[in-house]
Amino acid sequence: MNIRMSQRTDTMSAAIVTGPGTVRIERLPLPQPGRGQVRIRLEGCGVCASNLVPWAGPEWMRFPTEPGALGHEGWGVIDAVGEGVHGFSPGDRVAALSYNAYATHDIADQSAIARLPASLADQPFPGEPLGCAFNILRRSAITPGETVAIIGIGFLGVLLTELVSAAGARVIAISRRPSSLAAAKQAGASDVIPMDDHWRIIEEVKQLTDGRFCDCVIEAVGKQWPLDLAGELTRERGRLVIAGYHQDSPRQVNMQLWNWRGLDVINAHERDPAVYMRGMREAIEATAAGRISPARLYTHRFPLEELGAALDMTRDRPEGFIKALVICHE
């Protein structure tokens, strides 16, 4: 096998989740890229809320995890290239759609990486969630002048607020933490509503929309109550977009309401890697052009050795928290 390398090392570090809420760092042989693959020396990896159910140790979870598992928001510099790779070389800085990125190195297919321009050289770039925001925007089919409610203002919710506002729509942001509502305001929300009382929120949105409710509602939490609320806030023939990751248990829906209002219900989760990558490339272009500013949303950083603390903070979401990054390089 002809592998081009910018430097040669023999081992890497990777996080292994050994049980509910427990993690260890192991030293392992450095993997070699196969045909059509590259190896990335990771600079960092974003911490995704989808990690939290596996971190809690549900019945279906199997421990220990694979080295680096759960990490899927990595970026870094290519340090080895396998046979058959075209257009990428050692030294290229990329965002990756790979799945073992809680580590100092990971392997990715050449179709699952996107080059980062020199203008982003000093910026972290967890490409997968940034790309998700653009894919959700596309699926939401927002048009200028619409009223859009976004339920759940975390990292994804803030990005969507910024994108939907830039598309010419009015955004009503709904979230439980004052700092999240302040972030939504900064991102362009016209109105913010504390997420505290179901019926009070419905009444306030009704008043803000002259009784029509919202043309589109994006649910970005992944829990039962926000899903219930989303249906209530969507107008007749409106669009209910499910962006939250519902993985902890089955959900019930008010089908009577959904039927009566004739809602278009859109599951905005993509599974086609090519679509993921399209969103990621759009996010790179928009960030480089200054149309979005995600760097301010990376509120907390942890070394790889403190992955457990990063996951706990993502779970607990203290005031002021938006997004944690794990810094992977040694």
Quote the CATH superfamily of domain 130-267: NAD(P)-binding Rossmann-like Domain (3.40.50.720)
| Residues 179-234: tens digit of each pLDDT | 999 999 999 999 999 999 999 999 999 999 999 999 999 999 999 999 999 999 99
Higher-confidence residue of 223 and 2: namely 223
Residues 6+ apart with CB under 8 A from 60: none
Confidence label for 330 from pLDDT (cuts 50, 70 and 90): low
Give the residue among 320, 322, 324 at the shortest CA–CA distance from 307: 324
| Residues 129-145: tens digit of each pLDDT | 999 999 999 999 999 99
| Residues 147-160: tens digit of each pLDDT | 999 999 999 999 99
What is the average pLDDT score of the chain? 95
Type of residue found at 85 = V
| Residues 23-70: tens digit of each pLDDT | 999 999 999 999 999 999 999 999 999 999 999 999 999 999 999 999
Task: Quote the CA–CA distance of 297 and 155 in Å, as a whole number.
Answer: 7
Domains of the chain: which residue ranges? 11-126+298-327, 130-267
Contact status, residue 13 vs residue 81, Cβ threshold 8 Å: no
Alpha helices by DSSP H, listed for 209-306, are: 224-233, 255-261, 273-288
Task: Quote the CA–CA distance of 138 and 202 in Å, as a whole number.
Answer: 26
Does residue 4 surpass a pLDDT of 80?
Answer: no
CB count in 10 Å sphere of residue 90 = 17
Residues 6+ apart with CB under 8 A from 30: 9, 10, 11, 12, 39, 105
| Residues 304-320: tens digit of each pLDDT | 999 999 999 999 999 99
What pLDDT is recorded for position 9?
Answer: 66
CATH of 11-126+298-327 among 3.10.20.30, 3.90.180.10, 3.40.50.300, 2.60.40.1220: 3.90.180.10
What pLDDT is recorded for position 222?
Answer: 95
Average the pLDDT over 16-21 and give the result: 97
Contact status, residue 202 vs residue 233, Cβ threshold 8 Å: yes
Task: Quote the CA–CA distance of 218 and 137 in Å, as a whole number.
Answer: 10
Flag whether the pTM goes above 0.85.
yes
